[in-house]
Structure 1
Amino acid sequence: MSTTIEQAVRALLDERLALGGFSAAAVAVAVDGETVLELEVGVKASVDENGERIDPDACAPVTRDTMFDLASITKLASAHTILSLVQAGVLDLDEPITAKLPSYRSDAKQRVTLRHLLTHTSGLPASWHGWEQPLLQHLESRPADAPPLAATPFDDREALLADLLATPLVAAPGEHFRYSDAGYNTMMALAEAVTGEPWESLVTGRTLRPLGLDGALSFGAPAQASVATEYDTRFGRGLMRGAVHDETAWVLGGRGASAGLFGTAGGLLALGEALRTGRGEILGEWMWEPQLGRMLGPGRERDTPSGYDHSLGPRIGQLNMMGRSGWNVRGHTGFTGTSVQTDREKGISIALLTNRVHPTRHGAGISGLRGTLADAVYVATGRADAEAMTRPLPPELW
Structure 2
Amino acid sequence: MTYWTRRNFLGGSAAALLGASAFANNPVAEAFAAKQPFYGLVMLAKRGVPVYVQTFGQANIEEARPVRNDTAFAVGSISKWLTSTTVLKLVESGKLSLDATIGKLLPWYRAEGADKVTLRHLLSNSSGIPNQFSTALKADPTLRNLPLSTRQAVERFCSGDLIFTPGSRFDYVSTNWYIVIGIIEEATGLPYQQTMRNLTLDPLKLSATGTDRTGAAEAYASITPPARKVDLHQPYMIASGGYYSTANDLLRAARAIFNEGFLSPQSVQALTHIEVPSENYTLGGRVKTLNIDGQRHRFAWETGRTGGYRSVLGHRLDGEDTVIILNNTDLPQKALDEFAYDLMHATVVT
- TM-score normalised over the length of structure 1: 0.70
Q: Do structure 1's residue 31 and structure 2's residue 46 form an aligned pair?
A: yes
Q: Deviations over 1:106-139 (max 9, x none)?
A: 435421111111122211346733762685357x
Cα distance change of structure 1 residues 29 and 101 upon mapping to structure 2, 3 Å threshold = same
Map of 2:217 onto structure 1: 227
Which of 258, 281, 291 aligns to 2:274? It is: 291
TM superposition shift of 1:337: 1.1
TM superposition shift of 1:78: 0.4
- Contact preservation (8 Å) 2:310, 2:326: yes
Cα distance change of structure 1 residues 33 and 100 upon mapping to structure 2, 3 Å threshold = closer
Aligned positions of 1:192-231 closer than 5 A: 192-213=185-206, 215-222=207-214, 225-230=215-220
Map of 1:141 onto structure 2: none
Map of 1:370 onto structure 2: 337
Cα distance change of structure 1 residues 365 and 178 upon mapping to structure 2, 3 Å threshold = closer
TM superposition shift of 1:342: 0.6
Map of 1:361 onto structure 2: none
Q: Deviations over 1:144-203 (max 9, x none)?
A: xxxxxxx94425554223213324322111111222321122111111123221111011
Map of 1:338 onto structure 2: 311
TM superposition shift of 1:79: 0.2
Letter in 1 for 2:253: L
Which of 296, 299, 324 aligns to 1:329? It is: 299
- Contact preservation (8 Å) 1:339, 1:370: yes
Q: Deviations over 1:266-298 (max 9, x none)?
A: 11122222233151316632212x232xxxxxx
Letter in 2 for 1:287: L
SS in 2 for 1:349: strand
Cα distance change of structure 1 residues 326 and 44 upon mapping to structure 2, 3 Å threshold = farther
Letter in 2 for 1:315: R
Q: Deviations over 1:230-264 (max 9, x none)?
A: 579xxxxx946xxxx445xx1x2376110111011
Aligned positions of 1:134-213 closer than 5 A: 136=141, 152-154=145-147, 156-213=149-206
Q: Do structure 1's residue 71 and structure 2's residue 44 form an aligned pair?
A: no
Give the whole-Å Cα distance in 1 for the aligned partners of 2:160 and 2:289: 29
Cα distance change of structure 1 residues 323 and 122 upon mapping to structure 2, 3 Å threshold = farther
Give the whole-Å Cα distance in 2 for the aligned partners of 1:268 and 1:31: 14
Cα distance change of structure 1 residues 327 and 116 upon mapping to structure 2, 3 Å threshold = farther
- Contact preservation (8 Å) 1:323, 1:371: no
- Contact preservation (8 Å) 2:80, 2:284: yes
Cα distance change of structure 1 residues 152 and 326 upon mapping to structure 2, 3 Å threshold = farther
Give the whole-Å Cα distance in 1 for the aligned partners of 2:142 and 2:208: 37
SS in 1 for 2:87: helix
Give the whole-Å Cα distance in 1 for the aligned partners of 2:320 and 2:131: 33
TM superposition shift of 1:366: 5.5
Q: Where does the alignment leave 5 or more consecutive residues of structure 2 unmatched? A: 1-21
Cα distance change of structure 1 residues 177 and 283 upon mapping to structure 2, 3 Å threshold = same
Cα distance change of structure 1 residues 10 and 155 upon mapping to structure 2, 3 Å threshold = same
Map of 1:317 onto structure 2: 288
Letter in 2 for 1:173: P
Give the aligned CA root-mean-square deviation in angstroms. 3.3
Cα distance change of structure 1 residues 324 and 167 upon mapping to structure 2, 3 Å threshold = farther
Q: Do structure 1's residue 62 and structure 2's residue 67 form an aligned pair?
A: yes
Cα distance change of structure 1 residues 132 and 197 upon mapping to structure 2, 3 Å threshold = same
Give the whole-Å Cα distance in 2 for the aligned partners of 1:171 and 1:74: 26
Which of 113, 125, 134 aligns to 1:120? It is: 125
Cα distance change of structure 1 residues 365 and 122 upon mapping to structure 2, 3 Å threshold = closer
Letter in 1 for 2:299: V
- TM-score normalised over the length of structure 2: 0.79
Cα distance change of structure 1 residues 310 and 125 upon mapping to structure 2, 3 Å threshold = same
Cα distance change of structure 1 residues 73 and 220 upon mapping to structure 2, 3 Å threshold = same
Cα distance change of structure 1 residues 93 and 181 upon mapping to structure 2, 3 Å threshold = same
Moved more, 336-345 or 76-85: 336-345
SS in 1 for 2:65: coil
SS in 2 for 1:218: coil
Q: Where does the alignment leave 5 or more consecutive residues of structure 1 unmatched? A: 47-53, 139-150, 233-237, 293-300, 358-363
- Contact preservation (8 Å) 2:181, 2:236: no
Map of 2:30 onto structure 1: 11
- Contact preservation (8 Å) 1:104, 1:110: no
Which of 257, 278, 281 aligns to 1:303? It is: 278
